[in-house]
Amino acid sequence: MPSILWPADRNKRESSQEPQGLLSQAQARLNAIPAPVLALTAFALGSVTSISGALVYRRYFRRIPNGDWVTPDVLAKRRWVKGKVTSVGDSDNFRFYHMPGFGWRWPLKFRRVPSTTKGELDSTQLKDQTLHIRIAGVDAPEAAHFGKPAQPYAEEALSWLREEILGKTVYCQLLRRDQYGRTVSIVTLSPRLLPASWASGKSLSLEMLRAGWVTTYEQAGAEYGKWGKEEFLRVENEAKAARRGMWANGIPAESPSEYKRRYAQLENSESVKVVDKRSSTEPSSKKPTATATAAAASKGKGWLGRLFSRS
């Protein structure tokens, strides 16, 4: 007895035949395309994919190992980079490990920042893998360097900065190089709630000024970001009025810029003294004797002149 197909069975057979029909139609259309056109299309798609992948990797995933890799093109674009602070040497600069792309945090953590405390690298190796960042727009009390004494509050300012950023993620806008090879940068802290792509964090320079541990840098080439110099000066005056940080006992006798200017003048005067001392100790030229003078004069005469001079 022949079986009767119910509507449900018919629908199942039709649905199973639909993908096969679509696949055969696509195969027929593909076979209708000439082979050279198909090869050229595949080559073009492969080239576009490779170039796009290289550009995306270069912009979002390639790490900048150290300052030597910060090209003029990167500085001209004023590129923002994300990274972790590995060390704080002075009150206005630090070492920064670039962390591009993703993979640095759970649940997709497959990349990590090397550490010197765990014995993975020594300090020299980590130094070669980090950027030396100079915080833009501020000037901190000078620590003891090259035989120069430290300014008051230099140690307190350094302790505050270490507490604020050491081991944490910050964002740096790379601006230019200074005379010491450091990369001057606008630095912002990581946003607390929203991702950094949606909102920017607080300005580290303004937070340092607000805490009273730095002054506004007003020399040539100073950078203040989107906040401007007026906002920097306003926050500094606010900290002075509230007697925060190094303003606790009033205005210090010497600002960081005045300190550097004074020692620069002392170094110049010392170098001038050394040059004068060297010139005074050089042996003076000996005066020619009478015999040598007469011999030189006789050389300038001919045989007839020497004959009459003897007589």
Does 12 fall in a domain?
A: no
Does 83 fall in a domain?
A: yes
Question: Which range is least confidently modeled, 120-124, 157-161, 212-216, 293-297?
Answer: 293-297
Q: Determine the average pLDDT of the residues in 278-307.
A: 57
Q: Is 182 a catalytic residue?
A: yes
Catalytic residue of the set 95, 134, 210, 231: 134
Q: How does residue 284 score in pLDDT terms, banded at 50, 70 and 90? A: low
Assess whether pLDDT exceeds 60 at residue 3: no
Q: How does residue 126 score in pLDDT terms, banded at 50, 70 and 90? A: confident
Q: Is 210 a catalytic residue?
A: no
Question: Which range is least confidently modeled, 4-8, 66-70, 238-242, 276-280?
Answer: 4-8
Does 209 fall in a domain?
A: yes
Give the per-residue pLDDT at 200: 81
Catalytic residue of the set 95, 182, 231, 236: 182
Q: How many domains, the chain?
A: 1
Percent of the chain's residues with pLDDT above 70:
77
131 burial level (CB within 10 Å; 0-12, 13-18, 19+): buried
Does 51 fall in a domain?
A: no
161, 175 Cβ separation under 8 angstroms: no
Give the per-residue pLDDT at 292: 56
Report pLDDT digits (tens) over 254-265.
Answer: 888 888 888 888
Cα separation values, 200 from 162, 172, 252, 290, Å: 21, 11, 33, 86
Does 55 fall in a domain?
A: no
Is the pTM value of this prediction over 0.75? no
Which has the closest alpha carbon to 108: 120, 99, 97?
Answer: 99
Does 35 fall in a domain?
A: no
Give the per-residue pLDDT at 261: 87
Q: Is 142 a catalytic residue?
A: yes
Report pLDDT digits (tens) over 196-240.
Answer: 666 789 999 999 999 999 999 999 889 999 999 999 999 999 999
Assess whether pLDDT exceeds 90 at residue 160: yes
Q: What is the mean pLDDT of the chain?
A: 83
Give the CATH number for residue 85. 2.40.50.90
154 is written with which tokens?
């230099």
168, 85 Cβ separation under 8 angstroms: yes
Report pLDDT digits (tens) over 75-114.
Answer: 999 999 999 999 998 899 999 999 998 888 888 888 888 8
The owner of tokens 């790379």 is 174
Q: How many angstroms separate the CA atoms of 212 and 207, rounded?
A: 9
Residues of the domain holding 227? 67-259
Does 38 fall in a domain?
A: no
Catalytic residue of the set 62, 78, 142, 243: 142
Give the per-residue pLDDT at 70: 95
Does 72 fall in a domain?
A: yes
136 burial level (CB within 10 Å; 0-12, 13-18, 19+): buried
